[in-house]
Structure 1
Amino acid sequence: MKKILNLAIAFAIATTFVACSDDEDNNSVPTTGSLTVDFTGLEVLGADFVYEGWLIVNGSPVSTGTFTSVDFPQTYTVGIDDLQAATTFVLSIEPAGETGADALAPAATKILAGDFSGDTANVNSDNIVVDATGDILGLGSSWGKYILATPTDNDDTNEASGIWFLDNTNDPTISGLGLPTLTDGWKYEGWVVIDGTPVSTGTFTAVDAADDNAATSPYKGSVGNGPDYPGEDYVTGSAAGVDFPTDLKGKTVVISVEPSPDNSTAPFTLKPLAHFVPADAENFTVITMGAGPLAVLSGSVIR
């Protein structure tokens, strides 16, 4: 009888211990949480670059991980303390395989950003790509004008083979572009689509100065570098299987926003301005551009 009683007591103690352990497990504080991102407009970057998410916690960046797929939504596991304390979410473009100190902070090419309100951050590209101190605060407010002309040679028979983003309606000539000032890590680039292939007119950051390749363009003529505005003469060499000079009438002109360093030789997804050059366009005459196919990227981040 005494032996049976001892066994009963031992069983009761064991049962109580297990129950307490279960209660402790059920009441344990989680160390991680979920972060779900859902973005529109992003494009695949190619083999050399990845997207990386960042939480801004007490002013410092904390990575949420990298990704290459642009199928959304996507969910990531993040430390719970950082997740709850984060005030802002930022998405950047990073070199693939980045290590060392460079891997601890976002690159200059930040493409989306937004502050948390409760558990949601509504993010967009204007928040981080556009300089908030400029006169134009959104890529959707961009406007553009251009002329057809080839000022870098002395041949007046090929004027339709050059494009310059300027307005010569009155004297003096002024810039033909109204674009937001971009933050570090981004540049504008002009394009002409020739037989389905985009051919660059050059990259630039200022609308009232020559673009970056003004002196080194492989397509310009031998009479100077052209006016001090973005643009290009296609009077020598070839591109897209077309020998220059050519006729840009009937072609599409685009202004894109490009990461710097650039992830591709093709236009990036942000294209605030575009225009189909009319077949009856007159040389030296101002032509007005229209809105491009995509001026802003957006999305949501939920914790």
Structure 2
Amino acid sequence: MVFALTAFFVACSNNDNEPTTGNLTINLDGLEELGTDFVYEGWLIVNGAPVSTGTFTSVTFPQTFSVGFNDLEAATKFVLSIEPKNDTDPAPSKTKILAGDFSGNTATVNSNIVGDFSNSWGKFILATPTDGMNNNERSGVWFLTPGTPPTAGLGLPELEDGWKYEGWAVINGKPVTTGKFTKLSATDEFGGFSGVNALPAPNGPDGFFPGEDFLTNAPDGQTFPTDLRGATIVISVEPSPDDSPAPFALKPLAKKVATDAVDHSPIDLGAGPKASITGSVKR
């Protein structure tokens, strides 16, 4: 009986000393701050189900989180998502930005879950179709390839739910949107700066092409019409929904317009400043 009681107390003592939590360290390169209504949230995939590792807003790394020890040991994958700040849904949103499988105690993560932009290409023209021909023609940008009829000016992968493309003109150092879009040969979601004339006849069931004329309702610090020569044209990949007025970190295509650029002539977009976000997660 003495031996049995001793063994019982030793076993209890050993169980009490076993760790219940462990550390998960996240180290990412290229992530940028979100709008005020959203946060990043990490997830471990354990037996096929997501387990939250916590939320964060700072993009200074490395960052360490305390996670249940058993979940940490059993996890096969790490995923990072973008969530509403006051989220009541316990599951990850559709807006997943990073993912990677664990190999031993490390997961190498990247943004290929959003899309592979390594072979992306683009063209645009300077033109203002919404105020007629030969009026302020260098004050608008349209992502198309000229021809009869014109064709798509962007070669980009189709995005998953939770993401949209957005065009930008960086004018006098400030980014001004041309609108968000998901289809490359369709009218985008914004027309707040364009003139009153209708866009050219649609070339397909989804309308014209992404782009914008900068003619009216200029934002603070801008004057419309403008001259886009010397401006930088950018395509970004944006979370959806998104409350930030600035371009998101992923910018696969960009081009500074030459000072002698000719309107209605195709201009090639080049590689943007950030086509991929990478990092590592250690347990």
The question of a shared fold, defined as TM-score above 0.5 by the shorter chain, is answered with yes
* Match for residue 250 of structure 2 among 266, 270, 274: 270
Q: TM-score, normalised by structure 2?
A: 0.90
Q: Which runs of 4+ in 1 moved over 4 A?
A: 20-23
1:21-42 Cα distance to aligned partner (Å, 9 max, x none): 5994499432222211111111
Distance 2:35 2:185 in 1: 32
Q: Which has the larger radius of gyration?
A: 1
Distance 1:220 1:44 in 2: 30
2:165–2:237 Cα contact (<8 Å) kept: yes
How big is the shift at 1:61? Answer: 0.8
Distance 1:262 1:45 in 2: 8
Residue correspondence of structure 1 range 217-232 to structure 2 within 5 A:
217-226=191-200, 228-232=208-212
- In the alignment, which residue of structure 2 is the partner of 1:238? 218
* Match for residue 283 of structure 1 among 263, 270, 273: 263
2:37–2:243 Cα contact (<8 Å) kept: yes
- In the alignment, which residue of structure 1 is the partner of 2:31? 42
The share of aligned pairs that are identical, in percent, is 60
Counterpart residue identity of residue 129, structure 1: V
1:200 aligns with 2:177: yes
Residue correspondence of structure 1 range 88-103 to structure 2 within 5 A:
88-99=77-88, 102=89
2:35–2:242 Cα contact (<8 Å) kept: no
- In the alignment, which residue of structure 2 is the partner of 1:74? 63
How big is the shift at 1:50? Answer: 1.1
Structure 2 unaligned spans of 5+: 203-207
How big is the shift at 1:47? Answer: 2.7
- Between structures 1 and 2, the one with greater helix share: 1
Counterpart residue identity of residue 259, structure 1: P
Distance 1:288 1:46 in 2: 31
- In the alignment, which residue of structure 2 is the partner of 1:133? none
How big is the shift at 1:236? Answer: 2.2
RMSD, aligned α-carbons: 2.2
- In the alignment, which residue of structure 1 is the partner of 2:205? none
- In the alignment, which residue of structure 1 is the partner of 2:19? 30
Distance 1:236 1:28 in 2: 69
Structure 1 unaligned spans of 5+: 1-12, 131-137
1:163 aligns with 2:141: yes
Distance 1:225 1:282 in 2: 21
1:198–1:267 Cα contact (<8 Å) kept: yes
1:112 aligns with 2:98: yes
- In the alignment, which residue of structure 1 is the partner of 2:128? 150
* Match for residue 167 of structure 2 among 152, 176, 190: 190
Distance 1:220 1:74 in 2: 44
1:86-121 Cα distance to aligned partner (Å, 9 max, x none): 11110011111222xx1x111111110111122211
Q: TM-score, normalised by structure 1?
A: 0.84
2:128–2:135 Cα contact (<8 Å) kept: no
- In the alignment, which residue of structure 1 is the partner of 2:72? 83
Number of paired residues? 273
How big is the shift at 1:241? Answer: 2.5
1:199–1:240 Cα contact (<8 Å) kept: no
Distance 1:242 1:76 in 2: 43
